[in-house]
């Protein structure tokens, strides 16, 4: 189509601009994918490895994926609805709208140290991908995703391989979603979701809009350092993986296998993951909207401008897929509200900073010096106050 070719022509310079915007601060040539707070630097994977393996001090730096929206801040939120990783500010700006606030979002964690490649894959959500699979993706990618040729990304952010490999890279989807599946598996309600696959464990699985570049750099990394994969990784042939996947759908390459913060999310999120996927419209239609709405409200999982960030209520789910399909309602409402946002941008910025700070606030008492604590506990007191010691 002419339209599509024009789009391609328009996309190429856009890619260049994006590349320029995300240039690695260290090498200045590769696309930066990570952000190091300690260094205030954007880095590509190989430079990150080079910089942070220099000594033990550097290796303690915490790095995060780079925000897909501003390209200049560490990402803290993964929006599955938009398949984007966002920093606190961008998350707030794009999700404080009433219609888009129901996007399915979840917090991201950074990493430190000098991780091996499969640990890096875990960080971006593909922990079970082995070296062979990674390299195979290079061979069979066919250049769909840019000149280097990796996996083509579909509309929803999934990949377009015919051999079933792409299925490893999409989020887990229950084959059948029924009304029973929407029942929260909360012991307090004595309800138990029926016939629902177990909750994916790795909630950090996210690599945003730059999956292809991430995989490209990881491939370069594994080619330059063949020992980068840890020895104990069980390398399985791709075909066997595929067949295994058929038997145990969702257990492979979903990026959810890693145990991460099991207690952070309340039980209602279990059902989010159970029916929230890039699945079909029929599935969504089979879920009574009113039921979902009332259920979500009951569980307080629909964050609004005032409450989404308070830490107790986590990121909500609108029941739509995570695969990059923006809520059409939200999309249509965006320009109107965006104008309003510009007028109150300062306030929004201040609010976002406040929200971000509030989110990272530590309520528990933090003891900096254990020796002083021990000393204080053993001190003599008069009505709670420290008393002079008799020497």
Residues at the interface with DNA (CB under 7 A): 365-369, 371-373, 375-377, 379, 381, 383-389, 391
Strand partners, 79: 84, 105
Cα distance from N-terminal residue to C-terminal residue, the chain: 92
Q: Which is nearer to DNA, 336 or 375 (CB)?
A: 375
Helix/strand/coil (H/E/C) assignment for every residue in 288-339? CHHHHHHHHHHCCCCCCCCCCCCCCCCCCCCCCCCCCCCCHHHHHHHHHHHH
Where are any strands of DSSP class E within 16-57? 34-36, 41-43
Q: Do residues 59 and 78 touch, judged by C-beta distance below 8 A? A: no
Its sign, for the CA torsion 180, 181, 185, 189, is negative
Q: Which is nearer to DNA, 281 or 382 (CB)?
A: 382
> Minimum Å distance from CB 307 to DNA?
18
> Minimum Å distance from CB 376 to DNA?
4
- Token code pair at residue 51: 């910089």
> Minimum Å distance from CB 373 to DNA?
4
- Token code pair at residue 142: 């066919």
Q: How far apart are CA 334 and CA 339, in angstroms?
A: 9
Q: Which is nearer to DNA, 290 or 312 (CB)?
A: 312
Q: Which is nearer to DNA, 291 or 386 (CB)?
A: 386
Q: Which is nearer to DNA, 346 or 371 (CB)?
A: 371
Q: Do residues 291 and 233 touch, judged by C-beta distance below 8 A? A: no
> Minimum Å distance from CB 362 to DNA?
12
Q: How far apart are CA 14 and CA 10, in angstroms?
A: 6
> Minimum Å distance from CB 364 to DNA?
11
> Minimum Å distance from CB 190 to DNA?
30
Q: Which is nearer to DNA, 4 or 371 (CB)?
A: 371
Q: How far apart are CA 132 and CA 121, in angstroms?
A: 13
> Minimum Å distance from CB 378 to DNA?
9
Q: Which is nearer to DNA, 190 or 381 (CB)?
A: 381
What does the buried/exposed string (b/e) look like for 37-68 if buried means 16 or more CB atoms within 10 Å of the residue's CB? eebebbbbbbbbbebbeeeeebeebebbbbbb
Q: Which is nearer to DNA, 234 or 364 (CB)?
A: 364
- Count of alpha carbons within 13 Å of 375, Cβ hemisphere only? 7
Helical H segments across 175-301, by residue range? 211-224, 238-247, 268-275, 281-285, 289-298
The conformation of residue 255, written as its DSSP 8-state character, comes to S
> Minimum Å distance from CB 312 to DNA?
15
């Amino acid at each position: 189509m002419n339209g599509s070719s024009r789009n391609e022509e328009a996309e190429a310079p856009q890619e260049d601009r994006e590349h320029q915007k995300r240039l690695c601060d260290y090498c200045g040539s590769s696309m930066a994918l990570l952000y190091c707070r300690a260094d205030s630097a954007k880095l590509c994977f190989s430079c990150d490895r080079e910089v942070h393996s220099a000594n033990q001090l550097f290796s303690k730096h915490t790095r995060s994926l780079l925000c897909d929206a501003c390209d200049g801040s560490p990402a803290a939120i993964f929006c599955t609805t938009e398949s984007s990783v966002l920093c606190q500010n961008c998350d707030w700006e794009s999700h404080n709208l009433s219609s888009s606030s129901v996007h399915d979002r979840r917090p991201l964690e950074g990493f430190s140290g000098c991780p091996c490649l499969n640990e890096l894959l875990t960080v971006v959500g593909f922990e079970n991908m082995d070296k062979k699979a990674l390299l195979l993706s290079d061979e069979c990618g066919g250049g769909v995703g840019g000149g280097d040729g990796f996996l083509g990304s579909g509309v929803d952010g999934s990949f377009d391989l015919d051999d079933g490999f792409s299925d490893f890279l999409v989020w887990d989807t229950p084959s059948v979603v029924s009304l029973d599946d929407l029942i929260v598996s909360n012991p307090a309600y004595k309800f138990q979701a029926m016939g629902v696959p177990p909750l994916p464990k790795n909630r950090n699985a996210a690599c945003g809009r730059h999956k292809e570049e991430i995989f490209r750099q990881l491939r370069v990394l594994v080619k330059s350092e063949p020992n980068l994969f840890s020895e104990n990784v069980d390398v399985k042939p791709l075909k066997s993986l595929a067949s295994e996947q058929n038997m145990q759908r969702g257990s492979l390459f979903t990026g959810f296998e890693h145990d991460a913060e099991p207690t952070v999310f309340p039980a209602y999120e279990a059902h989010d993951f159970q029916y929230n996927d890039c699945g079909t419209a029929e599935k969504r239609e089979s879920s009574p909207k009113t039921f979902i709405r009332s259920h979500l409200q009951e569980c307080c999982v629909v964050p609004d401008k005032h409450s989404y960030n308070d830490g107790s209520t986590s990121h909500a789910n609108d029941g739509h897929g995570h695969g990059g399909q923006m809520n059409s309602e939200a999309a249509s409402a965006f320009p109107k509200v965006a104008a309003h946002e510009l007028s109150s941008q300062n306030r929004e910025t201040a609010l976002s900073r406040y929200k971000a700070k509030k989110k990272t606030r530590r309520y528990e008492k933090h003891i900096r010096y254990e020796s002083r604590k021990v000393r204080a506990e053993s001190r003599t007191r008069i009505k709670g106050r420290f008393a002079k010691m008799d020497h």
